[in-house]
Amino acid sequence: MTLPITFLSDYGLADEFAGVVHAVIARICPQAQVVDLGHGVPRQDVAAGARMLARALPYAAPGVHLAVVDPQVGARRRALALRTVEEDRLGGVAEAVEISASPWRLDPVSATFHGRDLFAPVAARLAAGEPLGEAGTPLEPGELVRIELTRARVEEGGLVARVVERDGFGNLALDATHRDLAEAGMRLGGPIGVRFSGRRASGTYVRTFADVRRGGLLLYEDAGGAPAIAVNGGDAGALLGVRPGDELRLEPG
């Protein structure tokens, strides 16, 4: 049985990179269905890619998930293929294999395009049902490095949160939880303030965009369940002059 493949990367769509990866997969396993989760991960931003993958995978069918965001092409990072514990695609790792010298690679492997030369043929062969163990060299669980993600903190009646992502609409996802907002004194339906770089913008903590007037600032729970800041019909990132990585202070009232 052929497994479906999802594909996420930081390749963008200006070049042929994502297309060539598709071509390699189609050549090796033409019957595999490939779903592009997206190719707009900010360049080399492994944490942002991990967040996009974590948001998307619960909605995907079980199968092969190809994700390529290379912090330093050709550097000391290792190319991996993992098998997860059944029914838990975001958690436990059941088997890990290093594929840098995979017997399935395209020869010669280029120095800079491992998506094409390593990851695509490995994904295609796994989709075709070949065993993960033959994709490369086994890794010990202790050799895996887990990404450390930042976390908002309550401070003197406010919440200091980091902008972890700015989407195509300018909406700003925060490294906070619903509970953090409550602990810092913010209540659904109540006014909030956002401080950044010496300025303060006023908004409302609401359920949906339509709960504020057009152009109004809102704090809401995004589709993934995490607090986010937006402007109804506008661009919150542009309004606040904020970029991913910046720290904001959220306050009640």
Binding its own copies (rule: CB under 8 A), the pick from 87, 91, 111, 148 is 111
Tell me the window of 27-35, 89-97, 140-148, 239-247 that interacts with its own copies (CB under 8 A). 27-35
Q: SS3 string of the chain? A: CCCCEEEEECCCCCCCHHHHHHHHHHHHCCCCCEEEEECCCCCCCHHHHHHHHHHHHHHCCCCEEEEECCCCCCCCCCCEEEEECCCCCCCCEEEEEECCCCCCCCCCCCCCCHHHHHHHHHHHHHHCCCCHHHCCEECCHHHCCCCCCCCCEEECCEEEEEEEEECCCCCEEECCCHHHHHHCCCCCCCEEEEEECCEEEEEEECCCHHHCCCCCEEEEECCCCCEEEEECCCCHHHHHCCCCCCEEEEEEC
Q: Taking CB under 8 A as the rule, does residue 182 contact its own copies? A: no
Binding of residue 38 to its own copies (CB under 8 A)? yes
Contact with its own copies (CB under 8 A): which of 88, 110, 157, 241? Answer: 110
- Give yes or no for residue 211 binding its own copies (CB under 8 A): yes
In the bound complex, what is the minimum distance in angstroms from residue 98's beta carbon to its own copies? 17
**Contact region with its own copies (CB under 8 A), list: 83-91, 111-119, 123-131, 177-185:** 111-119
Binding residue for its own copies (CB under 8 A) from 40, 216, 244, 252? Answer: 40
Q: Which of these segments, 19-27, 90-98, 182-190, 243-251, binds its own copies (CB under 8 A)?
A: 19-27
Q: How far is the CB of 56 from its own copies (least distance, A)?
A: 5
Stretch that binds its own copies, among 58-66, 93-101, 124-132, 236-244 (CB under 8 A): 58-66
Binding flag, residue 116, its own copies (CB under 8 A): yes
Least gap, CB of 141 to its own copies (angstroms): 26
